[in-house]
Chain A
């Protein structure tokens, strides 16, 4: 018991961040599972976070309603953006969603209601470790079920070959939009519960590097199952603390080791770290 309470005193926040980052990784996993490379999920998390934070602070909404509204708004905006944007393919879609993300970040910097560069400060701390892992477990379960369903097969077909999927009579536009909006919804939830964790959210936390980080979680963890992105988020979020634990806290060196580990995974574990746990598997096509 003493072990556990000491562990949580030191690593409690880290455990929370791992859960949030795992949820964010899953949000991108949904979009990627339809073959759509989006760099907009950090921005959707930002929309969820700011919406929920503002509702709680300014309008004294209950936690659950704030979170639901944050996730809902992220999904609605994803629908509006997705209709024109999802016609774009591959790296160009990545760039379009990146541009969208920058516009959202700059809006958060310039608006008054978001608190500008100083961030939205003083959001009550209402998120518990239980909430985070409850939501994460529910999301992971839902996505695992979805993967085995007809929707999951359709998404996989689009990912493997969009033209062939269309020829099979799959309504590709509808499924792509579904994946995009679902991803945004999950990102919105993650953002909204994150907003109630640290007392403060700032525009910079939802920018380009955050968007790229989500992609890294998916690639490093592996995308064959819902466990991959979560594993990626777990390892990479814990890594700085692990390196700190072995007294590697000299800044630049630690940064460099981060890079080397990322490189080694990409070069030697093509299916991500999850392939360690699951044994040999078919090669990912994403």
Chain B
């Protein structure tokens, strides 16, 4: 019994990590209908930059965190300006956007490799106090709780922003129809830039939290989470902010339950992707439908 409880906690936690990664991913898709495959590279650079600020710059993590998040946001602006804005101007297809985001992902990854080296590195020990609680034989750590809470808070905050703030409303208008938004006098390019900034800042924040929890940062750390992130935003319905978190948790739970029920882990990823395939066949637009950014 305690094994099952522990596994559910594990699944809930790793699912929140997937959700954190996916939330920025899904935002760009919801507004622009393009998959930004450079998101994983921004996630990686966010984590590595925070580490550099702490280890080389000698900053406290509480200063380094927001700085690295801002830097990630700036990378998002760069991404938009270089890879997406020129394509928008000539009304190119979504496929071109997909490829130019892959090109940017390659450039970012080579920068990470060149600047930070290939080794797996970690934040200095004892940077954050991580309490470990044992209840009977169930273990929870304070960092886990903090990560789950961040995921939930970000989900609520982002949803509220989209629903109630002026910028949020403008983002939803652009998501609905770029042309109409332009007619209404909305600065469409500005709104898209803001979207990229927020999306990438969230991606960077996810990278830092990931690095803090797993004590492992490397130039290719985005790769393994990239595919799962894609699966998650589909499960949640692409473009849905709450869907990203819920989809993440559903995906995380499907992984651990496979391990818990079969007792082995060989089938873990196969089951997770089979579930994704079946869900797509049964509900071709994901569990929560799409276009939720628009309705928020």
Contacts and interface: CB of A to CB of B under 8 A. Distances in A.
Interface of A: 37, 84-85, 87-89, 91-92, 95-96, 98-100, 102-103, 106-107, 110, 208, 212, 215-216, 219-220, 251-253, 255-256, 258-260, 262-263, 266-267, 270, 284-286
Interface stretch (B86-94, B130-138, B144-152, B184-192): B86-94
Given A92-B284, A95-B276, A106 B103 contact: no
Interface in B277-296: 277, 280-281, 284-286
A263 B103 contact: yes
Contact of A260 (B107, B267, B285): B107
Nearest to B33: A91
B284 A256 contact: no
B262 to A, nearest CB: 13
A100 B104 CA distance: 26
Contacts of A255: 106, 109-110, 113
13 contacts: A95-B280, A106-B270, A107-B270, A110-B270, A208-B227, A215-B95, A219-B95, A252-B114, A253-B114, A256-B107, A256-B111, A259-B103, A260-B107
B231 interface: yes
A251 B90 contact: no
Interface of B: prevailing SS: helix
A175 B267 CA distance: 35
Contact of B277 (A89, A99, A212, A285): A99
Contacts, number: 117
B274 interface: yes
B106 A259 contact: yes
Given A88-B280, A102-B227, A216-B99, 20 more contacts: A91-B35, A92-B280, A92-B284, A95-B280, A103-B274, A103-B277, A106-B270, A252-B111, A253-B110, A255-B113, A259-B103, A259-B104, A262-B103, A263-B100, A263-B104, A267-B83, A267-B86, A270-B92, A284-B93, A286-B95
Nearest to A101: B273
A91 B238 contact: yes
Contacts of B286: 92
B269 interface: yes
Contacts of A89: 284
A106 B273 contact: yes
A244 B187 CA distance: 46
B2 interface: no
Given A251-B113, A253-B114, A91 B94 contact: yes
B117 to A, nearest CB: 9
B56 interface: no
A263 B107 CA distance: 9
A286 B35 CA distance: 16
A27 B201 CA distance: 38
